[in-house]
Structures are given as structure tokens and as C-alpha cells.
Amino acid sequence: MGAGKSTVGRLLAERLGRGFVDVDEEIVRLAGGSVADIFDGGERAFRDLERQCLRGALDADADVVVAAGGGAVLDADNRTRMRLAGTVVWLRAMPATLSERVGDGSGRPLLENTDESGLAVLNRLSTERAALYEEVADVVVDTDGLSTAEVADRVLALVTP
């Protein structure tokens, strides 16, 4: 959350001449409601839709850039599919940077539906998920202090021959 997956993913797809799939946008399209609305039915309902949309994006015959949601790695099947589908890039940022980027957390249920501060939630999520991101990532790009274009440049330098 806040690492730049959607923004950088779109830019990468454009530069590579590929299609782009944002899994969160696909979830919203499929469910017909906002992420917050879906989370009102519980995080499990969201994760089920996330698994379905990620599977659809990764199993498609098209050569696309996929922005998977930050929690997609929580599911073992998702991790396996990501590893088998192609190059996985982890856009990593310090929790303080993520907190600056997401602001007050509006529209982000994991930040809105808690008594913890946004920074505390992002610290906890980063700690809980780091090993899972490491498990699937072929490439890690630290995004702190970089513009979207700079992040895209670094990704392309690491993933293209």
C-alpha cells in the first residue's frame, strides 16, 4: 500500500508496449463496489476476489504487467502463481514513506478500520509480509525518495536484457 504498484505498473506497461492489469481495479469491477464496500463483508471476501482476479490476470494468454495488491502474497496459491507467471518485482519502501504516500488512509480499509495509527499499521504489515515478498520477488527496487519515472527506470534496468 503506497509503494507505487499501480502507477509504476501502468508506466512500465506503456514503456514495454504491454497491457496492464491492476488487480484491485479488477476486484472493484467484478464486485461492483469500492474496496471499502467489499471489506465491509470482511477481509476474507476481499481476499477471495483478489485470488480470483489475480488468477485471471496471470493465467491470461496476454503479455501483461500485473499490479497485485499488497496482501496478495498472504495466499500460498497466489505466491505460487506469481512465481510461475513471470518476473515478480517487489517495490519496497520504508513504512514512513508509505505513510506519507497514503496520507490519512481514506479508502484504504486496513488503515481506516483500526485503532492503530496509519504508520503503526504500515510498520506491522511490512514486518508481517516481508518474508512473503522475499519469497516471490525476483527483483527488489527500493522506492524511497524516487519519482515514479525513476522507479520504472530501475525496474526496466533490472528486468530487461
Rounded Cα distance, 3 and 91, in Å: 6
**Structural fold of domain 5-156:** Rossmann fold (3.40.50)
pLDDT at 129: 94
pLDDT at 18: 94
pLDDT at 102: 87
The fraction of the chain above a pLDDT of 70, given in percent, is 99
25: part of which helix (H) or strand (E)? helix 23-31
Rounded Cα distance, 62 and 135, in Å: 25
Residues 6+ away with beta carbon under 8 Å from 97: 2, 143, 144, 145
pLDDT at 139: 96
Rounded Cα distance, 154 and 161, in Å: 13
CB 150 within 8 A of CB 157: no
Rounded Cα distance, 2 and 98, in Å: 5
What the block records as the C-alpha cell of 44 is 476474507
Rounded Cα distance, 29 and 47, in Å: 15
pLDDT at 117: 85
Low-confidence ranges of the chain (pLDDT < 70): 109, 113
What is the tens place of the pLDDT at every residue in 90-106? Answer: 999 999 999 899 877 77
Domain spans, the chain: 5-156
